[in-house]
Amino acid sequence: MRRLFWIAGTYVLLLVAGCGRQPAASPAAHATAFGAAIVESSGGKQLGTPGAALPQPLVVQVNDAQGNAVAGAPVSFSGPAGVGFDPTDGVTDSNGQVTTNVTLGGTSGRYELRAASPDKSGRPFTVNITELALGYQEQVGYSVDQNYCARCHDQESSAERVSNYDNLAVKPHAFIDGQTLNMLTDADLTAIINHGGPALNRSALMPPYGATLSKAEVQALIAYIRLVSDPPWRAAGVVYAKR
């Protein structure tokens, strides 16, 4: 009986050990330095598709208290369920940067990711990074934006598409300009898209698109504007963030 007890005991112990969380190979093991601040270098605010990798990698940089890049500092990435990082942990290179490839979760919306690095005392300091996953509707809105709106509303000029922004006497608002656009209700935006600037007593340089775009396209465009808005629109959709 006693032997049985021993066998059962060992079994339970093994089971507990097996199920217990594997202590992840801590990046701190390879870490040789610690910083005081972490910033996003590039790869934030990208437009991606649900479940797919973002087009550009995400790069963050660790700085010391003087703002100089720190090499050899550990960085770990985290995000809401469904988000994948490759790699999840890293150590900053000679430029103080860590690069990771991000795969978004399976649903459309705004994803809030976090990169963290411990300081000397082991307390983590963090930076939040927002990425956007376009659903069907936002994708339609994006294509409307690229066809009709971006030539004036986007300041970026390229050889393929010269921006008209600088040519306009009254400057249009960029679609990420949440400070302004969040003040407008969906009905306001619909009116200004359908009937032009004068509908809201604004510039006539914004022409009416109501007879050109379908109702669904206008709704899709508004959904897209709401998604990319910064600061976020209050009802822009689900915010996926780790609690």
User: What's the min distance (Å) between Cβ of 199 and other proteins?
Assistant: 13
What tokens were used for 220? 């899709």
Residue 109's nearest CA partner among 243, 223, 231 is 223
H helix intervals, the chain: 2-19, 136-144, 150-153, 178-181, 186-195, 215-228
| 242 makes contact with other proteins (CB under 8 A) | no
| 191 makes contact with other proteins (CB under 8 A) | no
| 87 makes contact with other proteins (CB under 8 A) | no
| 43 makes contact with other proteins (CB under 8 A) | no
Q: Provide the terminal-to-terminal Cα distance of the chain, rounded to the nearest Å.
A: 48
The span from the CA of 42 to the CA of 129, in Å, is 10
222 three-state secondary structure: helix
User: What's the min distance (Å) between Cβ of 151 and other proteins?
Assistant: 5
3-state helix, strand, coil in the chain (%, to 5): 30, 25, 45
H helix intervals, 53-153: 136-144, 150-153
User: What's the min distance (Å) between Cβ of 205 and other proteins?
Assistant: 4
| 159 makes contact with other proteins (CB under 8 A) | yes
Binding to other proteins (CB under 8 A): which residues in 197-226? 203-212, 216-217, 219-220, 223
Identify which of residues 44 and 51 has a Cβ nearer to other proteins in the complex. 51
Residues that bind other proteins (CB under 8 A): 49-53, 55, 105-109, 135-137, 139-140, 143-144, 147-148, 151-152, 159-160, 162, 164, 166-168, 203-212, 216-217, 219-220, 223, 235, 237-240
